[in-house]
Structure formats: structure tokens, C-alpha cells
Structure 1
Amino acid sequence: MTGPTPMGMIRLVAADLDGTLLDRDGQVTPRVRAAVATARSAGVEVAYLTGRPLHDARVVLGAAGLSGFLAASNGAVVCDRDGAVLSRHVFEGGFGLGLVGELRGLGLVLGAVTESDLVLDSEFPADLAREWCVVANDRTVEDLVRGGAVLKLLAARAGQRADELTAVVRDVAEDVVVTYSTHRFLEISPRAADKGAALRVIAAAAGVALREIACVGDMPNDLVMFGTGGLAVAMGNADDQVRAAAHLVVAGNDADGVAELLARIVDARVAEVR
């Protein structure tokens, strides 16, 4: 790991949503909202990189009055400050259907995500269907994949954690990215789609050097952006792998760790001006 970028040099903070920017109830607290506003006034932009579907992420951020660069479905789709799509990576129909067949052969229950829809097998963990805003179970996973617009596949097996399933899926799923942002299921994306690649797109559009970016997250799907930005920050509630890869650890998501990070960056920038 190279040395971290000093906080006073940070111009953009790339924040994960669940377990990071959002508290345990899936909300942005008033303290975090205020910290984002203060950071922007001080010349520090906040971008949002999440495993959530695009529509769902927009709903959550919109409810909190937040806007900015947004990468959804683990970077499979990236949007600018005005919501225009900057990049998009989808599963081509034939390849996607073949992959779905391989995954079903492992006895996995599946989900499929596009920019606007989420389709889940009926056996998929019910809590996910309750938490995400868009669920369209009148179609099958195969229907969505056949349409050629799927950004990400989800895979789960009863009684097994995502980390236990990772090696099993990687053995059959070639030329894809396999990761997870919760231990309930795996997330499978096109090879070119991850949070690190998304961060490069955002940095170029924002005119910010990668070394001037602080990345904050809590789960293994955040690790690739940790290796892309200049400062890697783990939440206090982060997975052990994430904490080990971070330059520093802030408070957990229920203790407004993102607000803590933003305040420290703003203070460092002010101190440099003095």
C-alpha cells in the first residue's frame, strides 16, 4: 500500500451507501447531510458508489436531498451530477443466459438488476425484497437477461454466506466480477464493471486526480476503489478485510463516521490555507 494522500489535498470523497453513508435504518442522518453540505462549500465534492440498483439509489439520495456523481450496481452504470449516464456495462443476452444456466446448475437462487428493475427468484432472501424500492417479480431472471440490459446478477444459497460461495461461483463464472456487499448474497457483474473503474470515470468527469480522492466503505465490494483512490477509509463497522486494507478507520455508520471523515478533511484544508 502506498502512503495515503494528506487530508488537506482531498478534493472528492467517494462514499458507499449501505453500511457507510446510510445508518442501520437505511437513512442519511441530519449530521451527515450537514457535513456533505459543509464539505461542498469548502470545495470537497461527494460522489456515491453503491451496489444498489440505480433507481433505488436515486430514491434514497433524493429523499435526503443529496445529489452528485453516482455509480450504481457496483459501478456497472455511472451518472454525472445531472443524472446523465457516463458509462454502462451490461451482460450481453447470450453470455448472460449461459451464465445464468451455470449458476442455476449450482443450485443457486438468483436476481437480476437493470437501471430500473429488480427481478428476484421467489426463493430469494425476503428481506432484500423489503429493503429495495423496485421489485418486479412478474418476470423471471431469464426474461430480464434475455433483454440485454442486466447490469448485475445476484446469487444466494440457503444456509451459506456470500464469502463461502465466492470460490464456488468463480469456478464456473469466467470473465465476470464476483463480489459482495452483504453476507446474504453474491453480486456478479460484467468484467469491466467495478467501483474502481467507476471511480476513474467519475474522476475524469470531475477533473480530479485519483490521488485527490478519499474512498470510504465497509464491505469487500469497496476494496477495488480503495486501491484506486488516494486515501482509503474504513467504517468502524467494516468487514475485517476492509479494515485491513484501509489507511484509517472512522466511526461506524450509526455514529456518523462519514460526517467525521468530511469534518476532518475540511479542517485539514482550512489549516493548509492558514
Structure 2
Amino acid sequence: MMKLLALDMDGTCLNSYSKISPTTMDALYLARTSGIEIVPTTGRALSCIPHQLRKTGLFRYVISSNGAVAVDLKERKTLFRALMPYEAAATIIESCQGPDLKMAAHIRHDYLLQGQLLPFFGHLIYGRDASQAKAVPDLAEFIRSRHADVEELQFFLLTKKARERTRRIVSEFPELSSARTSYYAEIYSSNATKGTALSAVADYLSVSKDEIACIGDGENDITMFQASGLRFAMGNAVPALRSMADVVVSSNNHDGVAEAVRSLLTAFL
């Protein structure tokens, strides 16, 4: 019997408009009332969990910031944490910053953005989900003055020079890892993965790997797949994840999560 469902958010539970469809919401309620513990497992900061899921009673445990933090919301307890030391984070920000780079950070469950431009675009793209984002004038100063260790740094790279500068500077910190595209980089502790955090939650709940199912779409979900006994890849998933999946379902624009939940309930309940 499956006891836990680790569920990615963006590109999986949410469609291309950053919404959760009624069909998917109904499937999640059915899974929860059937006794399955739903664990949102997301790259977002905890404060930016999709608004459609807040106050639903669907979940108690959350893995956020790509596995940097796992929490028990009911007990207000941290189950897992793998953070960047504040001094390293501040140094990277100061060394990388320039007019060709915009930056944000996940700190103490909040989503902090340097300046006013990023919050504006965040609200434009994500609507109510970005309502908890906070603008600060100087991220490095904010981090240093509060001795605030960092869950994740996010850099928006506007030029080739910004990409090269960021790659060179981050390489000087072997205790950190990064994931990047041509225009974007995430920087985090090498110990922060969705899979590690998921295993910590499972241990806390005395749930075995064979009792864990997961649904995902991106490369950051690979370690989550490795920590799960049953793996569903979305139809829009990256090839590496599709190749690892036990089942490939429809895309996030065609209620693939609902399809996975129905399959899960039919097979194991």
C-alpha cells in the first residue's frame, strides 16, 4: 500500500498558467481521504506554496526550496535542513552582482527579491502565488546583518558575461551546487536535494521507500524519483525523468496528476 505521495508543483501539479485544475484538485482530495499523505515537494519557498493548496487541509508536510528544507506544519517542526552559510551566500552575491544580473533568495521560508523590478514581474506571472514575495534593497546586507543562512539563491542572467562570471565564482565554493539554464541559475548547498529531504520525511513517518509514490517533470525531481518506490513522470517531463519513470502520464495541461492518482488508487488501494 502506498502511504505517501511526493508531488512536484510547477510543471506537474500546476498547468502552464500556474493554476491547479478542478480535476487535479478533486484527485488530490480523493488521495488524501483514501489515507495517502500528500507532500508538496517544490522548488518554491514555503511562503509561495500555490494559493489553491493553502488552508485546504490536504497536507501537513512540505519539502521546499528544492529540498533545502522539510517541515511539519502542524507541529511547526523542521524535519530536514541543508542551508548555505550566510557568509558564503553574501560573498557570492557581492562578487556576482551587476546591472546584467537580477537576484533573489529563499531565506527562512520567505522569497526575497533585490530591488522592485522582480516583484513586479513575479506578480505579473504568478499572481496570488507571488503575494508573499518581499523586496529588499540589498540582499547581501540583509543576509549579513541577520546572520541568515540561505536555502537557495536565484540569479537571472541577462548577458553572457553574467553567466560566465557566476559560473566562475560559484566554482570557488565546493560545498555548493548549482543548476542552470542559459539565463537562470539556482545555487544551494550540495546536501540539499528533494530526494534527501523526502527520505528524511519518510523516516520521520516510518514510511519505507516501497510505500512512497512521486510525480514530477524536471531534472530537480531525479533524486525524488530515486527515493521513491513508484515513479510517475508527466508527459511534459524531461527525457531523463521519463526514462526513470514506472508510468508516464499526460502533461500538466491535461491533468496528468489526476491520471496518476487514479492509477495509484486503483492499483494499491
TM-score calculated relative to the size of structure 2: 0.83
In structure 2, the partner of 1:185 is: 184
In structure 1, the partner of 2:260 is: 261
Q: Output the amino acid matched with 2:105.
A: A
In structure 2, the partner of 1:38 is: 30
When residues 101 and 216 of structure 1 are mapped into structure 2, their CA distance, relative to the original with a 3 A threshold, is: same
More deviation in 17-26 or 96-105?
96-105
User: Could you tell me how far 1:66 is from its partner in structure 2?
Assistant: 3.1
In structure 2, the partner of 1:6 is: none
In structure 1, the partner of 2:138 is: 140
CA contact (8 A) 1:36 1:259 kept: yes
More deviation in 35-44 or 207-216?
35-44
Q: SS in structure 1 opposite 2:53?
A: helix
Please state if 1:119 is matched with 2:113: yes
More deviation in 17-26 or 75-84?
75-84
User: Could you tell me how far 1:133 is from its partner in structure 2?
Assistant: 2.6
Identity in percent: 30
In structure 2, the partner of 1:4 is: none
Tell me the distance in 2 between the aligned counterparts of 1:116 and 1:83: 19
When residues 215 and 100 of structure 1 are mapped into structure 2, their CA distance, relative to the original with a 3 A threshold, is: same
Tell me the distance in 2 between the aligned counterparts of 1:202 and 1:136: 28
In structure 2, the partner of 1:110 is: 103
Tell me the distance in 2 between the aligned counterparts of 1:165 and 1:123: 22
The answer for unaligned runs of 5 or more in structure 2 is none
Please state if 1:244 is matched with 2:236: no
In structure 2, the partner of 1:95 is: 88
Superposition misfits of 4+ residues, deviation over 4 angstroms: 121-126, 163-170
Matches within 5 A, 1:1-274: 9-57=1-49, 59-62=51-54, 66-82=58-74, 84=76, 85-104=78-97, 108-114=101-107, 115-121=109-115, 127-128=121-122, 130=124, 131=126, 132-146=130-144, 147=146, 148-158=148-158, 171-179=171-179, 185-270=184-269
More deviation in 83-92 or 35-44?
83-92
Q: Output the amino acid matched with 1:50.
A: T
When residues 139 and 165 of structure 1 are mapped into structure 2, their CA distance, relative to the original with a 3 A threshold, is: closer
Q: SS in structure 2 opposite 1:237?
A: coil
CA contact (8 A) 1:166 1:179 kept: no
Q: Output the amino acid matched with 1:240.
A: P
The answer for unaligned runs of 5 or more in structure 1 is 1-8
Q: SS in structure 2 opposite 1:254?
A: helix
Q: How many correspondences in the alignment?
A: 259
When residues 185 and 209 of structure 1 are mapped into structure 2, their CA distance, relative to the original with a 3 A threshold, is: same
Tell me the distance in 1 between the aligned counterparts of 2:5 and 2:166: 29
Q: Output the amino acid matched with 2:213.
A: A
User: Could you tell me how far 1:166 is from its partner in structure 2?
Assistant: 9.3
TM-score calculated relative to the size of structure 1: 0.81
Deviations 1:129-178 (A, max 9, x none): 53223332233221232121421100121267xx9999667634421132
CA contact (8 A) 1:102 1:172 kept: no
Tell me the distance in 2 between the aligned counterparts of 1:165 and 1:33: 43
CA contact (8 A) 2:37 2:59 kept: no
User: Could you tell me how far 1:237 is from its partner in structure 2?
Assistant: 1.2
Q: SS in structure 2 opposite 1:19?
A: coil
Q: SS in structure 2 opposite 1:36?
A: helix
